[in-house]
A = this chain, B = another copy of it.
Amino acid sequence: MVSSRGVRHDSMRARNLAVVLATIHRSGPHTRAALAESTGLTKTTVSSLVADLLEAGVVTESGTVRGGERGRPGVAVSLSGHRVAALGLEINIDYLAACVVDVTRDVRLRRVRPADNRNSDPARILAELRDLVKEVTAEAEAGGLRVIGAALAVPGTVEGGVLRSAPHLGWRDVRVEDLVDLPFVVDNEANLAALGELWFGSREPDFLYVSGEIGIGAGLVVEGMVFRGTFGLAGELGHVVVVPDGPTCRCGGRGCLEVYAGQDALLGDVASVGELVARLESGDGRAREACDRAGHALGVALTSAVHLLDPGRIVLGGVYAPLFRWLERPVTEGMRARLGQMRGTPPALVVSGTGGDAAVLGAAGSIIQKILAEPAQMLGL
């Protein structure tokens, strides 16, 4: 009986910590009296919960505000960006990336290491990533931050802590869950990039985020939540069929979008996206044609995606962000011609507000989300 009551008390306290933190996160600085009023908890309980949250460094006392049922001035408790932080990580085909984001969702550090991870040895890449983690964590800690958890974005399908299949990396069934000695999650890069766009980009609640990389993925956000499908495999836009008897794709299918609009197809013999942009800016006809071809295929695949998923808007990210100026017209024209009669106007096509960093930011953001939702568990309270 004693242990059962103990558990019940702990879980109630955990729930109340989450309620208090959520109130501050959602509605800004509160006095303890105002928190008691908003949450329906007693002032004594609120004071004790706030003391724990202060101790953990996730909130701070900041000046005086009016609050409480009689509007008396009191000390305001607000979210603190000075201590608790999360680590975002990404394994991309041609780089490794890391970032540190604090609890207020300020980005404190970003690091990108160019790499050639195609058909690579997982053990070697994971060792390099561990190095990057050490470097970034040390720098964050030197700045007074405490990294509470980490999330990793990978260009492939994920099940539990295992990267099931990442065709461009050439990886299959790679266990990554013990990468760092912290609470850790791994997820598909397009899903995390969609969350990155939600939290660090446009902040709109309804959109399809299109992640243009060597592979092409998509993450659908409806009312602020990622739609994952039945097995967590939804959003594989890169393998939507554009031409049924088209060229063979890496996935084994034929005529997939990736064959026409992936980074390799866009670049051809151009060395980098930066160089492609330079050529486009100088009016290079072949570079323009490459964008038109990719944009046309993207318009076809997005037509199918709009009919099936009905997104609020379409956000182009990854390498499509710097190429947006040249992709916008062919994509929009293709969609308008095909969708116009059934929809009036097709969904708006916009560029990602995160540059190319959506996935690694979304990874860190997903840990911040977990801290805000489960502070007791994540902060050891």
| Cα–Cα, bound, A254→B242 (Å) | 12
Chain B residues near A232: list those with CB within 8 A. 310
Provided the pairs A241-B303, A241-B304 are in contact, do residues A252 and B340 lie with their beta carbons within 8 angstroms?
A: yes
Nearest residue, chain B, Cβ from A206: B230
Closest to A347 in B: B230
Q: Which of A165, A227, A243, A308 has the most CB of B within 10 A?
A: A308
For the complex, is A233 an interface residue (Cβ under 8 Å from B)?
yes
Whether B310 and A252, one on each chain, are in contact in the complex, defined by CB atoms closer than 8 angstroms, is: no
Q: Does A282 contact B (CB under 8 A)?
A: no
Please indicate the chain B residues that have their CB under 8 angstroms from the CB of A340 in the complex: 252
A157 located at the interface, meaning its Cβ lies under 8 Å from any Cβ of chain B in the complex: yes
Within 8 A of B (CB), among A138-184: 157, 165, 167
Q: Are B244 and A242 in contact (CB under 8 A)?
A: yes
Kindly state whether residue A203 has any CB partner on chain B within 8 Å.
no
Contact digits for A317-349, partner B, Cβ 8 Å, 1 yes 0 no: 000000000000000000001111111000000
| B contact residues around A300 at 8 Å (CB) | 241, 244
Complex contact B206–A253 (CB within 8 A):
no
Q: Is A353 an interface residue (CB 8 A)?
A: no
Q: Which of B234, B243, B342 contacts A165 (CB 8 A)?
A: B342
CA distance A343 to B341 in the complex (A): 35
Contact A230 B304 (CB under 8 A): no
CB <8 Å contact, A308 and B310: no
A240 part of interface (Cβ distance < 8 Å): yes
> Please, which residue of chain B has its CB at the minimum distance from the CB of A336?
B252
Give the chain B neighbours of A167 by CB distance below 8 A: 341-342
Residue of B nearest to A311 (CB): B230
Chain B nearest Cβ from A346, distance in angstroms? 11
- CB of B233 within 8 A of CB of A222, answer no
**Least CB distance, A19 to chain B, in whole angstroms:** 23
User: How far is the CB of A51 from the nearest CB of chain B, in Å?
Assistant: 34
Cross-chain contact of A310 among B165, B230, B341 (Cβ < 8 A): B230
Look across to chain B and name the residue whose beta carbon is closest to the beta carbon of A222: B230
Q: From residue A273, how far is it (CB to closest CB) to chain B in Å?
A: 25
Query: Across the interface, which residues of B come within 8 angstroms of A222, CB to CB?
Result: 229-230
B308 near A236 (CB under 8 angstroms)?
yes
Query: Are B251's CB and A341's CB within 8 A?
Result: yes
Beyond contacts A228-B310, A229-B309, A235-B308: 8 other A-B pairs, Cβ-Cβ < 8 A, are A229-B310, A233-B310, A239-B307, A239-B342, A241-B300, A252-B340, A253-B342, A301-B304
Q: State the A residues within 8 Å of B (CB).
A: 157, 165, 167, 206, 218, 222, 227-237, 239-244, 251-254, 300-301, 303-305, 307-312, 337-343
Q: When A and B form their complex, which 9 residue pairs have the shortest distance between CB atoms, in order from nearest?
A: A229-B310, A252-B341, A236-B307, A234-B310, A253-B338, A230-B312, A240-B304, A233-B310, A206-B230
